[in-house]
Amino acid sequence: MTSDTMKSNNPSFAIKLKNFLGKLVKNQLFIPIVALLLLVLINLIADPTFFKIVLEPSSTGHLILSGNLITIIDNASELAILAIGMTLVTSASGGQDISVGATIAIAGSVILRVIKVQPTDISNGRFAAMLILAFVLCVVVSAIFGAFNGALVAYFNIQPMVATLILFTAGRSIAAWINNNDNISIKDTRFAYYGNFIPGIAIPTPVFITAICLIVIALVLKFTNLRLYSQAVGINASSSRLNGINPKMIKLLTFIILGVCVAVCGFIKVSRTSSITYSVIANNIEMDAILAVALGGNALSGGKFNITSSVIGAYVIQFLTTTLYKFKVSSSAISAYKAVVVILLIIISAPIVRRWFEDMKNKREAARVAKIATAANTESGKENV
Amino acid sequence: MSVNSTVLEKKLKKKASLTDTNLLLIITVVVFLVMYILAVVFLKKGFTKPQMFFNILNENASLLVLSCGMTLVMITGGIDISVGQVTSLVCMSCAVYLQKVNDAGLTGNQYVIKSMLLAVAIGLAFGIVQGFLVAYMEFQPFIVTLAGLFFAKGMTTIVSSDRIPVTFDPFVKLCRTEVTIPFLGSVNKKGIFIPAYVEVGVIAALAIVVILFCVLKWTKLGRNFYAVGGNNQSANMLGINVKLTKFLAHVLCGLMAGIGGYLFFLHACSGSPLHAQGAEMNAIASSIIGGTLLSGGVGNIVGTLFGVLSLSTIKNIVTSLGLEDAWWTNITVGVMLCIFLLVQSVILARKNNKK
């Protein structure tokens, strides 16, 4: 009895710390950040020079930053951009778009179709105009494909995974059809700037593009009702309709935003290699993007979302991939290790496991209370005697 | 009073006669027949020969079994996207096993049977683990089977990253076995009658279709699948063990993936990491074309059979139209899938409005 009152009157530092930790664990950013720290730790133990970044001249003679960390941040760009759109789609429609890899192929194909007709010796101004034209066209085409998916989901009530199965099947073929299945490679070195380095700047360009995308989406979420509306639609579409939101429009909008993200990814992808292989480009990226969303702790059944944690999830996945490469795992066997991560992840984040933990906690608490009670009883019994 | 009740019963029967399942099934069958008849009338080429039809079966025996498993899971409201890679893993493991036996200089039918058991064991293992995670741990089926897909894909390349052709004699004999069909066939240029044939795998696949059809139609388990997919909670209130039912659906799907994998192995006679790429999507597409709804509760094995047939017929039609560029088949399949989805969605929307 006395010990209990003492505890409640005098909240010690330990209890404060416990509360703080409890809050931390419940935070959505907890899992991806812990995963990231774990990977950093493993890498540091395995190879202390893993994070060394050096400034050295590249093959074209310009100074560039190189190192594992730069590679990871650079290579994760597409995934991070996709994770933005995928999070929104997941939130509003409670399903995932599995066609992103195929539509990236379409987007890349559209860009190359425009760029390939240009001679390599045109002036910088004309090239820039050409590039902008190609990019705008690519964004429009991707947005149309996104709208196609979105319309099937929103207006025909088809589950997102099934609706996007159509483009998943046909997308790469459409990409090949756009360019007549030609093997295109762009000779103009200016085209490769956007997937690699702009001369004179030491940081890879995709990093900047990702940053711009993140800033834009942050501003959009800050100054519009997109976050509120898509969460409302994801949690309960019919009640959000009764509150004056048009759930169909919101779903369509999220798919169009994903389409724009896909266009940016397609642009970076083709710029990296200045060429395209229709059946291989961005292969399996849809699975990674969905994994990034799940890793970020977002419910795949829709509702509340946190884009920051999805993006961190994307970097974690790329980090994992690079780490596995460092440990000399062959590129095709990597997926087996990813499977282990996925399983661990779903086990940690599953409601049933959390419930189990809470039950354990409650039981321990109950046992403690019972112990105190019996102790008090025996004491009072002694007094009576 | 009794007259009234019989009238009511009759009315109910009439209404129930055209359920969602039946309506979607009828659409699929009609589309397939129309497509095939049009192909026979206008394209002629190979379509008039019965062998063309049996070739479709020969090539798609594995897909048929995979799709049947997929249909079961989809009826309970889940999905299994790992089946394609499990097929690949089964092919690779069996190929490596049989080649090892062959290199050791052994021969005999018991090794072929052992490889079959290996295939079934791999499929069942995937089914049991995934089923447990989905049903008892309440994870999302998509994510669990995505993990399964990754795992199977990685394991396939860990087992071997090269294409392994099988030269084990008893197995090759089994691969080459053709079952001729009497009275059906075509006369070749020399006027000799060539009977049509099917591979052994097709007979196994059709047997599985019949068994699963019976299971779904007449057994308690089959009814439970529909009940669980239609409405989880009402099924629970009716005293159906929802978790066990979902678990069994995934186990059956895993089993089908194992068998389907072996049928693919029989057809291809080799193992390769590139085998059965995207088979899971083809299986899902076939199930959807066959009238299975991803939301669960609606579906039919016969529909799936016709879904597989329609899918491959349209591929054949596209190739024989002279559009041999690789992309046309995929685009047509995409368009076909789109049309079927739209039709389904419109029909269901209308039905809901009527209620």
Element (H, E) at B196: strand B193-199
User: What CATH number should be reported for the domain holding residue B150?
Assistant: 1.10.3470
Residue A166: list chain B partners with CB under 8 A: 334, 337-338, 341
Residue A39 has pLDDT above 50, yes or no: yes
Measured between alpha carbons, how far is B36 from B47 in angstroms, rounded to an integer? Answer: 8
Low-confidence winner among A167-171, A381-385, B58-62, B253-257 (lowest mean pLDDT):
A381-385
- Is there a domain that residue B331 lies in? yes
Predicted confidence (pLDDT) at residue A345 exceeds the cutoff of 80: no
Query: Would residue B355 count as lying in a domain?
Result: no
pLDDT per residue as tens digits for the range B260-281: 999 999 988 888 888 887 788 8
Within a domain: residue B304?
A: yes
- Supply the pLDDT for residue A3: 47
Q: What is the pLDDT of residues B48-63, one digit of tens each?
A: 777 888 888 888 899 9
Please give the residue range of the domain that contains residue B243. 24-349
pLDDT above 50 for A114: yes
Residue A139 pLDDT exceeds 60: yes
Indicate yes or no: CB of B331 within 8 angstroms of CB of A174.
yes
Sequence length of chain B is: 355
Distance from CA of B272 to the nearest CA of A (A): 13
Question: For residue range B155-209, what is the model confidence (pLDDT) as tens digits?
Answer: 888 888 888 888 888 888 888 888 877 776 666 666 677 777 888 889 999 999 9
pLDDT of residue B2: 52
Q: At residue A220, does pLDDT exceed 70?
A: yes
Evaluate whether residue B6 is within a structural domain.
Answer: no
The answer to whether the Cα torsion of B84, B89, B92, B94 is positive or negative is negative
pLDDT at position A382: 63
Give the integer Cα–Cα distance in Å for B193 and A194. 64
Packing angle of the helix pair A100-115, A285-295 (nearest 10 deg): 130
Q: What is the pLDDT of residue A32?
A: 81
**pLDDT band at A1, cuts 50/70/90?**
very low
Reported confidence tier of residue A9, pLDDT bands at 50, 70, 90: low
Count of domains observed in chain B:
1
pLDDT at A216 over 80: yes
pLDDT in tens, B299-355: 889 999 999 998 888 888 887 776 656 677 788 888 888 888 888 788 777 777 766
Give the tens place of pLDDT for each residue, B204-250.
999 999 999 999 989 999 999 999 988 888 888 888 899 999 999 99
For residue B61, is it within any domain? yes
Region for residue A129 given its phi and psi (left: phi exceeds 0; alpha: psi -120 to 50; beta: otherwise): alpha
Please check whether residue A170 touches B, CB under 8 A. Answer: yes
pLDDT tens, A295-318?
A: 888 877 788 888 998 999 899 888
Closest listed residue to residue B320, CA positions, set B25, B23, B49, B11: B49
The token pair that represents B265 in the structure block: 């192995």
**Residue B7: inside a domain, yes or no?**
no
pLDDT of residue A191: 82
Q: Is the pLDDT of residue B102 over 80?
A: yes
Of A98, A145, A105, nearest to A282 (Cα)? A105
B285 closest CB neighbour out of A169, A333, A339: A169
- pLDDT, average across residues B66-92: 92
Give residues with Cβ within 8 angstroms of A86, minimum separation 6: A96, A97, A100, A258, A261, A289, A290, A292, A293, A310
A 289-328 → B contacts, CB under 8 A: 290-291, 294, 300-301
Q: State what percent of residues in chain A have pLDDT above 70.
A: 93
Residue-wise pLDDT tens digits, A148-190: 999 999 998 888 888 888 888 888 888 988 888 788 888 777 8
Check if B144 contacts A (Cβ < 8 Å): yes
Q: What percent of chain B has pLDDT over 90?
A: 28
Kindly state whether A346 is in contact with chain B, defined as any CB-CB distance less than 8 angstroms.
Answer: yes
Task: Give the tens place of pLDDT for each residue, A48-74.
Answer: 777 778 887 777 777 778 888 888 889
B281–A169 CB contact, under 8 Å? yes
Q: Collect all residues of chain A within an 8 Å Cβ-Cβ radius of residue B336.
A: none
Cβ separation A170–B330 shorter than 8 A: yes
Model-level pTM?
0.80
Residue B120 in this model has a pLDDT that exceeds 60: yes
pLDDT, residue A2, reads: 46
The interface predicted TM-score (ipTM) is 0.74
Tokens 């029989």 -> residue: B266
Cα separation, B224 vs B209, whole angstroms: 19
- The answer to whether position B264 is within a domain reads yes
**What is the pLDDT averaged over residues A21-40?**
79
Kindly report which listed range (A2-16, A346-360, A368-382, B267-281) carries the lowest average pLDDT score: A2-16
Residue A55 identity (one-letter amino acid): L
| Count of beta carbons in the 10 Å neighbourhood of residue B54 | 20
Q: Is the residue at B104 inside a domain? A: yes
